[in-house]
Amino acid sequence: MDDFDYDYASVDSIVDFSRELTGKSLSEAAWHPESIANVRNRGNLGSLVENFFFGINPGNSPLPDFPQANLELKVTGLLRRSNNQYRAKERLVLSMIHYSSIVGEEWESSALLRKCRLMLILFYLYETDVPVTQLRFVLPPMLLNLTEQDAEVIQRDWEFIRDKVRSGLAHELSEGDTFYLGACRKGAGGEGEKLQGQPFSETKAKSRAFSLKQPYLTQLVERHSEFEASLVIRAGQTIDEATRARFEPYLGMKTDEIAQNLGVSASGKGFWRSIANHILTDSGKEPIELKKAGIEMKTIRLKSTGMPREAMSFPNFSYTGILDEDWEDSSFFERIERKFLFVVFATGADQIERLSKVAYWNMPFDDRLEAKNVWEETRRRVAVDASNLPLSGENRVAHVRPKARNRDDTELTPQGTKLVRKCFWLNQKYIRDVISAL
């Protein structure tokens, strides 16, 4: 996409364009980085985004920021909870309340709706002591229509505020009056405060603005995060079909090309999984539908020989815990019983890697019996000598190998020795045979 290359009269075009910001900071996404280098580090990120990302300068207008599209732009901050969920940093201020004119308004034709009926909300992750131009936009853009989402409550809140001004009580407005839409203080307080006149009382009132309350915004963010991590499943479509439909356009494409098209920023060990997630959901998160169904998505990279680059790992087992377990309540059993979704990237004879295959798979009964043999053999040997466990030559399907943070990441064995933590792996050759038979 080029700089400012969007249709300023089209909501879709503006929203699509704004996706370029997702996962980036303004200084990374601005079309002319040199122009932003001189910007002071303080200031309003919202206006900086207008100027340096969208190339607009709407100023202080009663019309939306994109008047031809009837779309208002909002840029607002998020905080990260300890459980990694996002919450709104503060309320989202919409527009000033003009006491003299609101008393003559109706909701549908109100000044608030004229400006803010449809909003494009861009969320950045707030961090202390980081220049605003380096704060990262962390969620895909949200479109919010005030006359659709929770419309009845918001309309009632608005009417309550208007009616209070009609009763000459603008000076008694408070955020506690309403539910989702609040009348928040806005403008200088203390010494510099300029009180406003109101039409039906001599008493001056503090200046206030309409805002979406912080808890309401937080809840919108939570809904948005979940929505963005969902598969788009059309009516009558199964999860299986919806998955195929998402992958279909990318089959045969070069890995790098897919990553570039989808703006995958991950690197290192999670790169291929991140690509799969980005294909499945707009947010690039693993779809909740797969989690709910207990579907085990595995990315597999094949060398040009058809051999997987890696064996396939499963959760660690515990040297002492495994002695108390039965096969059928072991975590290895629980995992291989699941439905797998294999996402296969294969390197061709041309040495270029492409997305080559996507398929669901269940481990056949005979192979599960082999896995059971490995598990039981492991259990037997752990009791005698935990340092000698089944290797890949010993069984067609699975073996045991370290999986730990490093060599010091150990666990006590029944022999009282400390050994690096291990898990069950499906053999490379086994995976190769499974994939080639798909």
Partner DNA sequence: GCATGATCATGC
Task: Provide the binding-site residues for DNA, judged by CB under 7 A.
Answer: 83-84, 266-270, 272-273, 285, 296-299, 301, 303, 305, 307, 309-316, 331, 391-393, 399, 401-409, 420, 427-429
| Smallest gap from residue 292 Cβ to DNA (A) | 13
Pairing of strands 86-88, 296-302: unpaired
Do 428 and 308 form a contact (C-beta atoms < 8 A)?
yes
Most distant CA atoms of the chain, gap in Å: 92
Do the Cβ atoms of 346 and 357 come closer than 8 Å? Answer: yes
CB 111 within 8 A of CB 105: yes
Nearer to DNA, 3 or 334 (CB): 334
Cα angle value 432/437/438 (rounded, 5°)? 105
Least separation in angstroms between CB 247 and DNA: 15
User: At a CB cut-off of 8 Å and minimum separation 6, what does 119 contact?
Assistant: 71, 72, 73, 74, 143, 144, 145, 146
Nearer residue to DNA within complex by CB, 75 or 426? 426
Nearer to DNA, 105 or 222 (CB): 222
Helix (H, G, I), strand (E, B) or coil at 75: strand
C-alpha closest to that of 66 among 23, 103, 116: 116
Question: Which of 99/123 has CB closer to DNA?
Answer: 123
Cβ closest to DNA, residue 54 vs residue 137: 137
What is the smallest separation between the CB atom of 417 and DNA, expressed in angstroms? Answer: 13
| Distance of closest approach, residue 87 Cβ to DNA, in angstroms | 14
CB of 390 to DNA, least distance (A): 9
Spatial CA neighbour of 160 closest among 206, 114, 205, 97:
97
Place of tokens 């037997």: 380
Q: What backbone torsions phi and psi does residue 144 show, to the nearest 5 degrees?
A: -125, 120
- Contact assessment for residue 54 and residue 46, using Cβ atoms and an 8 Å cutoff: no
- Rounded to whole angstroms, the Cα distance separating 173 from 135 reads 34
Residue 57: count of CB within 10 angstroms of its CB: 9
| Complex with DNA: residue 40 or 405, whichever CB lies closer | 405
| Cβ nearer to DNA, comparing 108 with 328 | 328
Q: Which is nearer to DNA, 143 or 419 (CB)?
A: 419
Least separation in angstroms between CB 308 and DNA: 8
Residue 316 CB, nearest approach to DNA (Å) = 6
Torsion of CA 429, 431, 437, 438, to 10 degrees: -160
Q: Which is nearer to DNA, 201 or 230 (CB)?
A: 230
Kindly state the smallest distance separating residue 315's Cβ from DNA, in Å: 3
Minimum distance, C-beta of residue 367 to DNA, in the bound complex (Å) = 17
